[in-house]
A and B are shown apart, each in its own frame.
Chain A
Amino acid sequence: MTQDRTDGRTDDNGRDAELDALLGQLRIEQAPERLTRRLYRIPQEEGRKARRGAWRDWFRAPPRWMLAPAFAAVPLLVVTLLLMQPKQPSRAEVEQARHDVAVAFAYLDRVGLRAGREIESVLGEELRHSVKQPLSEHMPFIDSIHKEETS
């Protein structure tokens, strides 16, 4: 029994040596260049996918404290955007503006008229005074005629 085992080991050793010799005779086959490139690309692509996944996870699950201001900011943003839009005035608003401008011009006109009247009355008085004064100095009867007319 022991003899058999020893013989078996000797046979195995012989086969191993034979295999080694045969393997030694084999030359290393070069993989096609395209395949090599594809194989090298695999770890890079896997790394990229892993990184993208990390960003996606970050967006999917933001911290809870971030949600409150984010929800508050949304309506504010909407209102801001609505207010920023150039508003087209309605026909009623334009009519109102036309009336407002007319009122503004009416005030301009009224102030101008009043000022004109004031200037006219002052100028008239001054002119009357400046004409009457030298006349009454040289012709005293003019003053008495005027007094008679007024009485």
Chain B
Amino acid sequence: MKTSFIGKALAFCLTALLALPAVAQEDALKGYAGYVDFGQLTDIFGEPTVQISVGEALLKMVSSLSAEDDPEAAALFTRLKGVRVNVFENREIPAAGLDLVRDVSSKLSAVGWESVVTVNSDDEQVRIFMKMNGESVEGITVMAVEPTEAVFVNVIGNISPDELERVMDNFDVDIQ
């Protein structure tokens, strides 16, 4: 009985220790003005089909790796602090998803995010927000909810849309 308690306690401690780096990375991003708290997405949409979270340290490494092939992308990566993506595909999106987009949008507007694009159609809600600090961008956030898909993207750091378009031309990625 005593051994099993010690075993459980050790297992708990090890699990907590292993989860520390991921939590620490997310916590580090929370300090930036360009970070957006989307709330509990999994509670509404279930498990994401695509989930990406790249922190500052890894982006710096990506930048140095791209320096020769794509100097423009490398320069962009050095100015990024983090990239977060949550995609929920091939399922019926609940009405609560549309409410979440509205809630997050009003929260972002309240803390100084500028609404760049808003689409309110019968079956689609799209919001694109930018956090500006003078001339520079601190973050871009995209929320798009359709009948069978929901996309949440948060890019933290200084990035301009035209720069993004130029960099995208060099990436060979097809997400359909």
Contacts and interface: CB of A to CB of B under 8 A. Distances in A.
A108 B164 contact: yes
Interface residues of A, number: 32
Given A106-B168, A112-B161, A83 B117 contact: no
A19 interface: no
A115 B126 contact: yes
B62 A97 contact: yes
A118 B124 contact: yes
Contacts of B128: 111-112, 115
B137 interface: no
Q: Could you say which interface size class chain B belongs to?
A: 35 or more
B153 A102 contact: no
Given A79-B14, A118-B126, A102 B151 contact: no
Interface stretch (A29-37, A38-46, A87-95, A129-137): A87-95
A97 B140 contact: no
A104 B164 CA distance: 11
Contact residues of B: prevailing secondary structure = mixed
B17 A83 contact: yes
Contact residues of A: prevailing secondary structure = helix
Interface in B119-176: 119, 121, 124, 126, 128, 140, 142, 144, 151, 153, 155, 161, 164-165, 167-168, 171-175
Contact of A105 (B13, B58, B84, B171): B171
Contacts of A80: 17
B95 interface: no
Nearest to B144: A111
A106 B171 contact: yes
Contact of B126 (A100, A102, A114): A114
23 contacts: A79-B14, A83-B18, A83-B21, A89-B58, A94-B61, A94-B62, A97-B59, A98-B66, A100-B54, A100-B85, A102-B171, A104-B52, A104-B83, A104-B84, A104-B155, A107-B87, A107-B142, A110-B175, A111-B151, A114-B144, A115-B117, A118-B121, A118-B124
Interface of B: 6, 10, 13-14, 17-18, 20-21, 50, 52, 54, 57-59, 61-62, 65-66, 77, 80, 83-85, 87, 117, 119, 121, 124, 126, 128, 140, 142, 144, 151, 153, 155, 161, 164-165, 167-168, 171-175
Interface of A: 72, 76, 79-80, 83, 87, 89, 91, 93-95, 97-112, 114-116, 118-119
